[in-house]
Amino acid sequence: MATSTYLSNPALTVNAVNLTDQCTSATLTNVTEPLNSSAFGSTDSFYVSGMTNHTFEVELFMSYAASETYATLAALVGTQTTVTISPTAAGLATPSATAPKFTLTNCYLAELPLIDASLGELSSISLSFTGGTLTTAVS
């Protein structure tokens, strides 16, 4: 049986700013809310697809330098923005079947940790973008 190995090294942008060099973890999840469609007399639960509510969770090193983490994200709290992510850096510029580009437009950033520091550790923050429209480009 053929196997494929995927060594993660994704590339991403937030509000058109490339933050790949600050990223240590990223998870994009395609979520459709389940709606219970069971009726009286049913002995089992049945579901139909409801609204989508995608999530993009990312962990970034915190940097206060110009055009880095804080400068990019500070004005986005409480607003809608666009994030893009691809399994490879090449996929951001030229998506393909093996390096698709996922774009989440109009996703919402509710909060931004301003400082998350521990003695002797690199400061990092965890963010969650929710909602929006998810598209996939493969060419």
- Per-block mean pLDDT, blocks of 10 residues, the chain (139 long): 73 96 95 95 94 96 93 97 96 94 98 92 95 96
CB 100 within 8 A of CB 118: no
CB 124 within 8 A of CB 24: yes
Domain boundaries of the chain, sorted by first residue: 11-137
CA nearest neighbour of 19 among 76, 77, 89: 89
pLDDT computed for residue 2 by the predictor: 64
d(CA 83, CA 9): 17
> Which residues have C-beta within 8 Å of that of residue 102, sequence separation ≥ 6?
28, 84, 85, 86, 134, 135, 136, 137
pTM for this structure?
Answer: 0.88
Class of the CATH domain delimited by 11-137: mainly beta
The identity of residue 75, as a single letter, is: A
The tokens for 25 are 């973890």
